[in-house]
Amino acid sequence: MRRFQERVLGSSRTDISCSDGDVWLLGVCHKISQQESTGDVDTRNVFAAFEQDFFSKILVTYRKGFDAIEDSKYTSDVNWGCMLRSSQMLVAQALLFHKLGRSWRKTTDKPVDKEYIDILQLFGDSEAAAFSIHNLLQAGKGYGLAVGSWVGPYAMCRTWEVLARNQRGTNEIGEQTLPMAIYVVSGDEDGERGGAPVVCIEDASKCCSEFSRGLVPWTPLLLLVPLVLGLDKVNLRYIPLLQSTFKFPQSLGILGGKPGASTYIIGVQNEKAIYLDPHDVKPVVNINVDTQEPNTSSYHCNIIRHMPLDSIDPSLAIGFYCRDKDDFDDFCSRASKLAEESNGAPLFTVAQSRSLSMQVTSSSVSGDNNTRFQEDGSLGMDLVNDAGTNEDDWQFL
């Protein structure tokens, strides 16, 4: 399996050099480059802090030996479930941020946090686990998800939207397994194609209101932005913008990798994309909160892998977590500034309302952006999303 993965992803690189610059890991800067210049104890501790931050991220990989999925004979997701596993990692990280905060670290010298165990249980490999691969496949049938088949990032984002909505309908407000609204930032409903997707503030507010059933005006929010940033490879003009998203305090990283081999990208160091790899095969484990010292080692990785950022598949999805309205306003401010610095080719933009977003979309496909589409060769192409329907929801940039 590792040899197969290396043929697809390329040989895994595990060397993180201090001379290559600082590392941004989901909104936190680890200034490891200072260690190279001074070499003192304090700066060596900076690299150790980076390693501990990386190790604390939840890893979800291929599993074998779980109960068969629905009526199939599949008891493993080896060779086809990497995008589902990558998305589980992103949502698990959002839950860690929400319940334990960005500064939480997994330690070996203290009792495990109950909230941490509760999160892991949600991603077990059975229908009883809320966010299991079994339930994701069920929720994503309308977007083409099927046992044994690979899935792309757009369909994956929409699947999480459906799964969260379904579970919200069966649970009380205070018992939500995903205690945050989901907003998938994608194509507009009127079928306009082209230009960058727009984070519509009114739509985000509507998602929060629907999540709380009108009880509060704003709730924690998980934003998912599926994108297609080129034809066979990412257009190089987007690389600096992708790098900058990891500097957002709200960053949840990127669902992306090589074609047909998804990973969860959680950081950057200059041109390197640092990622968690779901392609290792591990036996099913049952995490029980009643166990005094549950073994959670298979949910973490101490091997820091990276690949060139410009080698990732142009079809990807970016995630952000906003804890409250102030955090969302900060995200919008940063996103707007990033769009202004994009030389007319933003990843996404921000608008107050859908009517304003239409104006943004219209202007973004004129002038400089027309040149962009011609360079990418995307004008006139019939793009089909992962499910083969709703083609206008794709954002080809």
The count of residues in the chain is 397
Q: Note the pLDDT tens digit of each residue in 267-326.
A: 999 999 999 999 999 999 988 777 777 889 999 999 999 999 999 999 999 999 999 999
pLDDT band for position 85 (cuts 50, 70, 90): very high
Active site residue 277: yes
What's the burial of 98, exposed, middle or buried (CB within 10 Å: 0-12/13-18/19+)?
middle
Report which of residues 273 and 32 the model is more confident about: 273
Mean pLDDT of 56-62: 97
Report which of residues 195 and 182 the model is more confident about: 182
- Out of 18, 82, 208, 322, which one is annotated catalytic? 82
- The secondary structure of 337-392, three-state, reads HHHHCCCCCCCCEEECCHHHHHHHHHHHCCCHHHHHHHHHCCCCCCCCCCCCCCHH
User: Residue 53: is its pLDDT beyond 90?
Assistant: yes
Q: Is residue 290 within 8 Å of 72, Cβ to Cβ?
A: no
Cα angle, residue 183 at apex, residues 182 and 187 outer, rounded to 5°: 145
| % of the chain exceeding 70 in pLDDT | 79
pLDDT band for position 33 (cuts 50, 70, 90): confident
Active site residue 306: no
Active site residue 279: yes
Sorted by sequence, the CB contacts under 8 Å of residue 212 that are 6+ apart come out as 173, 181, 219
Predicted pLDDT at 359: 54
Mean pLDDT of all residues in the chain? 84
pLDDT band for position 27 (cuts 50, 70, 90): very high
User: Residue 236: is its pLDDT beyond 80?
Assistant: yes
pLDDT band for position 42 (cuts 50, 70, 90): low
pLDDT band for position 32 (cuts 50, 70, 90): confident
- Find how far residue 23's CA is from the centre of its chain: 18
User: Residue 379: is its pLDDT beyond 70?
Assistant: no
Structure tokens at 4: 């197969």
- Out of 279, 301, 306, 386, which one is annotated catalytic? 279
pTM as predicted: 0.86
Residue 45: half-sphere exposure toward Cβ, Cα within 13 Å: 3
Give residue limits of the domains in the chain. Answer: 1-351
- Out of 188, 277, 386, 393, which one is annotated catalytic? 277
User: Residue 390: is its pLDDT beyond 60?
Assistant: no
Q: Note the pLDDT tens digit of each residue in 88-144.
A: 999 999 999 999 999 999 988 788 899 999 999 999 999 999 999 999 999 999 999
In this structure, the number of other CB atoms found within 10 A of the CB of residue 35 comes to 19
